[in-house]
Chain A
Amino acid sequence: MLRFKAAIFTLLLLLLFCLSAAAQTAEELSDTAALEEPVYEIPRLAQVTNFEAKDSPDDAGGEIELTWDLSVDDKKEDGLVSKYVVLRSQNPTSDFHIVGVANHRDSSYIDKNLKEGTDYYYKIVTFPKYQGEVRLTREEIDPLMEQYPELTELDIKDVSMLAEYDRDIMSVFDDNILGISRVAGPVKSRAQWFNSKDLDTLIIGLTICISVVIFIGMARGGRKLFLRRIGGLQAIENAIGRATEMGKSILFIPGIQDMDDVQTVAGITILGRIAKTIAEYDTKINMPVSRSIVMTTARETIKEAYLSAGRPDAYSDDMVHYITDEQFGYVAAVDGIMVREKPATCFYLGAFFAESLIMAETGNSIGAIQIAGTAMPAQLPFFVAACDYTLIGEELFAASAYLSGEPKQLGSLKGQDVGKFIAMVFIIIGAVFATLAALTGSEDILEITNMIKSWFSA
């Protein structure tokens, strides 16, 4: 009896063990199944409304602007929309291809690089958020490309995110899953003859140009114009004189940019003025350059300056010599020249980058008088710290006109003051309105502030 009871107990235990093992295996199996076959909740999304396509204004053609109102599902706080997929076709009913993607909460898209004059049709697909991304493998992509020759590989990769809902790639465009908008079009792209977005730039530019021309005319007519003193420019003659007294050379660095940079042009125009004084004083000038075109231009400039000073015989091509286009290679060479030749005066006039301080500090260590000028705001503090005089920004461009002393050149400087006046007036008006808008909270004042801002934004 006891034996029988023990046998039944053992059987029961065995049964229990088998049941638990089976349950565990089933659980594991269902886990594996879950890994292999992800189950996603596919939200059914509302389509976008008021979808319109029109030719992009102010462009060179080839662009169409699409606008729409957000899908209702995208307006909610934690919306279900991840993005909007833009489809394009030259046929209103078929052949729609993916051309781009706009982020959720975006209600516009510009389709670019289109053929001018061709009719295009568009659709927008509201695209749901998904849980994790499935990347298609090579083996999956290749057959799909064969199956859908009209799709590029990129199309397939783009829809691969959709494909995780359904591996049958075309069924993702089924209306039952995604919100697909109505077709917009036909629409053609055209080029425009005037970019109305630049109207503000045109008006400001014209005002300044006209005032420059008027002031040049006034100066030619003999009217006296007042210009403030520029310390750095008044020191130039003394600096050249010092080099002459010490019997040492003058080093001139025109920056490290080519002649297509207006700062280099400004540097060379100042060189023309300085070279004449150097020729008259019979001092030596050494000008290492980092661009070939700058070398040829500087040579011409110095040669003419020596000619007009009546010293053509004293000119030599070796005064200007090329080193390298490479920024720090050039700096190393210039520093070497400074340390070996110890010039009495160093001019740095042009466009400078990180090399500004390396050169100016080396110049300072050899006790040279240093005059710098650049329109690179980042380098100005370094020049101010290490040089004796610095021409800040616009002073570099004004220098040649200032040194020439000619009325028509000085007139152009006066003209640019009109631009400064306009800038100052609008800055003050803008600041006053912005402050009032913040203080009073008035919508009207805020609107005026934004209007003023819009005149000057890109």
Chain B
Amino acid sequence: MANDEKNNRGLLDRLQFIDRRYIFIFIALAVIIPLLLGLRFEEKPSPIVLALYDKVDNMPPGSRLLMSFDYGPTTAPEIQPMVDVILRHACLRGLKVYLMAVWATGQSLTVQTVEDVLIPEFPDYEYGIDYINLGYKAGNQGLIRVIVDDMKRMYSTDANGTDIEQVPMMKQVESLKDMDLIVSFGGGFPGIKEWILFAGDPGAIPIGGACTAVSAPQLYPYYPNQMVGLLGGIKGAAEYESHVLDRYPDSFKTKPTPGMNMMVAQMVAHIVIMLFIVFGNVMYFMYRGKERKLAMEK
């Protein structure tokens, strides 16, 4: 009997800290199955997402929007849906789009985004007049500090090697201060925080952000005084997609909504994690109950 009791305790102890590989399998299934099914749900935009949407939506056509690709292939699955939806929204509103990257890994993603979204979906957009790819420049926050006062000191050519003086849409751009909105994509370093500290604050330029869900909480303190709005992770992407779909149904109904699709996978994964936490706690309390009982018997 005592032996059974001991075995039972050992089992409970083990279950409290089950092999993490079981958790891994469940999480993998929870993510893969919903993605394969391709479901999506409507999302109501939170105020911080709505603020960025409104800013983009209310800018007069012809205003200048700088999109900085401050992320790499690693976080692309999470960030790219936000890039795509904001770019589509900006082009729909007739904004002039400036693309650049503070991360070396961002450069190839700017090219890919132009090829995948801008060129096929907005054939009217002309390179050099409506959009430009400035490419990557090294220097992290140092680069931002320089171009906030003098763009041409760091960018003498665009990403294709064209002399910047020959590009029509760069003629009236001397520095970042000529931008009407800067949106930084990616929550790492350098990222939204550096854009706020080294461009937004000193140059009085509106800064928006789109970052991974894990970086979002640390950026909340900057909203609304130093940051116009923020999209945090897939949730932010899904909210923006859902809202833009609601406002411009004709233009967006045929467009992909990866954020909204991934949100379903995220929901199932969250539920699986919650179930595991509940399971762990049940095992913990059962184990503690047994321990107390044994102590009382002694």
Contacts and interface: CB of A to CB of B under 8 A. Distances in A.
B175 A113 contact: yes
A365 B20 contact: yes
A60 B171 CA distance: 22
B177 A113 contact: yes
A153 interface: yes
Interface in B152-207: 168-169, 171-172, 174-175, 177-178, 187-189, 201, 204
B124 A112 contact: no
Contacts of B27: none
B174 A377 contact: no
Given A113-B178, A152-B171, A154-B169, A351 B124 contact: no
A224 B282 CA distance: 50
Interface in A147-166: 152-154, 157-158, 161
A103 B63 CA distance: 10
A153 B132 CA distance: 15
Nearest to B188: A353
B217 A377 contact: yes
Contacts of B171: 152-154
B193 to A, nearest CB: 10
B225 A457 contact: yes
B274 interface: no
A157 B204 contact: no
A83 interface: yes
Chain A interface category by residue count: 20 to 34
A430 to B, nearest CB: 14
A457 B222 CA distance: 11
A257 B189 contact: yes
B74 interface: yes
A424 interface: no
A82 B174 contact: no
B61 interface: yes
Nearest to A257: B189
Given A113-B174, A133-B94, A458-B225, A153 B168 contact: yes
A308 interface: no
Contacts of B174: 112-113
Contact of B177 (A103, A112, A354, A365): A112
B273 to A, nearest CB: 13
A287 B136 CA distance: 31
Contact of B172 (A99, A133, A354): A99
A97 B44 CA distance: 43
12 contacts: A63-B177, A82-B60, A113-B177, A133-B61, A157-B62, A161-B61, A161-B62, A257-B189, A328-B74, A353-B189, A376-B218, A377-B218
Interface of B: 20, 58-63, 72, 74-75, 94, 124, 126, 129, 149, 168-169, 171-172, 174-175, 177-178, 187-189, 201, 204, 212, 214-215, 217-218, 225-226
| CB-CB nearest 10 A-B residue pairs | A113-B174, A153-B168, A377-B218, A378-B218, A112-B177, A83-B60, A152-B171, A458-B201, A353-B188, A378-B215
Given A153-B171, A351-B189, A378-B217, 16 more contacts: A60-B149, A83-B60, A101-B62, A103-B59, A113-B175, A113-B177, A133-B61, A157-B62, A327-B74, A327-B188, A328-B74, A353-B188, A354-B74, A354-B75, A354-B214, A378-B187
